[in-house]
Amino acid sequence: MHSSMSSRQCSDMYIGSVGMARLGSRARNAAQPLKTAAKDTSKRVRFMTPSIPDKALSRNPIPVTPRHFVQSPMPRQVHPTPAQAAAACASLIEEGLLAAANAGRKYTLCLGGGATPKAVFFLLAKRRGLPWEAAELYWGDERYVPEDHKDSNYRSARDILLPAAKAAAVHPMPTAAKDPAADARRYETLLRARWPKEAAPAFDLQLLGLGADGHTASLFPGTPALEESQRWVAVVRPDGDRAPGAALHEGPRVRLTLTPPALSGARLTVFLVVGEPKAEAVRRTLVDGDTPAALVKPSGAAPLWVLDAEAAGRL
């Protein structure tokens, strides 16, 4: 299934507020073949990134094949650079959206937070003519801050993606009340109304990340949400509880997150992970299975892990 999926190549990962350039058709000839080497003692694969000259940059993206693909037990793509990994995810979303629109149905997409998916948002925003009217956007987790707060996951998508996706139906996690539990129930009610006969939200695609501690969404190590088996949305306080009666958003950050059972129903789950600091968490999740991210076990297809060479460095 996953081996037939295409991806699109871009040249620079999002850093801060810097935009993204994408590789043009001349890059196909400019890229040198990768060399791989494995150490007999560790069975690890080292990837050498091709050199791309500046003149290869263009507005038109090209398909790029992952340099390393593993089908089982956990499908994964390994791309030479973070930019190419992000481009692969953007293409998966683009292809799914186009297919749904052509079939006359809605495309439900659950977005991730943090810095990594911003590159995906930039790429999607640059693609003209996408049928965003067929899209429904949801979020896998949210910091309990106002929507215009700099730490808001929704704001990241609002500022980068939503100007191009104005026609999409947008369903951010609510954070306006002074009661996080009430807002969690409100979002769960919305999800259950959308999928009344399903055991979990049946997103067409959910995009997840991975923290250096192995967390995904806001499922942090040692938090009660990891043990949740019934609720779809939970309140998480990774930094401890707020004082009773504290004003809105005072004290340690409170978060809302989809729970392990809620993350089990997507038709396609994609983990996008880049950078050497995440390499050990990737290994622990895929090899040892002892991180919160390992609790995401979709009932359908196994998650697809889209990595750059550094994040895959310890596999």
C-beta separation of 265 from 198 below 8 A? yes
Helix axes 153-160, 118-126, angle to 10 degrees: 20
Share of the chain above pLDDT 90, in %: 67
Domains of the chain: residue spans and CATH? 67-308 (3.40.50.1360)
Alpha carbons within 13 angstroms on the beta-carbon side of residue 242 total: 19
Q: What does the pLDDT average to over 52-71?
A: 42
| Model confidence, pTM | 0.77
Residue with the larger pLDDT of the pair 62 and 158: 158
Would you state the pLDDT for residue 301? 82
CB atoms within 10 A of CB 41: 6
Lowest mean pLDDT among 48-57, 139-148, 218-227, 290-299: 48-57
Sort residue 175 into left (φ over 0), alpha (ψ -120 to 50) or beta.
alpha
pLDDT tens digits, one per residue of 71-126: 556 799 999 999 999 999 999 999 999 999 999 999 999 999 989 999 999 999 99
- Nearest Cα residue to 265 out of 187, 208, 205: 205
Q: Are 207 and 111 in contact (CB under 8 A)?
A: yes
pLDDT: which is higher, 121 or 14: 121
Is the predicted pLDDT of residue 193 greater than 50, yes or no?
Answer: yes
What is residue 63's predicted lDDT score, i.e. its pLDDT?
Answer: 41
Cα(63)–Cα(82) distance, rounded to whole angstroms? 15
Encode pLDDT of 37-57 as tens digits.
Answer: 333 333 333 333 333 233 332
Does 61 or 56 have the greater pLDDT score? 61
* pLDDT class of 274 with cuts at 50, 70, 90: very high
Predicted confidence (pLDDT) per residue in 25-36, tens digit: 333 333 333 233
Question: What's the rounded mean pLDDT across residues 52-73?
Answer: 43
Q: Quick one: pLDDT at residue 233?
A: 98
Nearest to 10 by CA among 129, 144, 135, 119: 119
251-277 average pLDDT score: 92
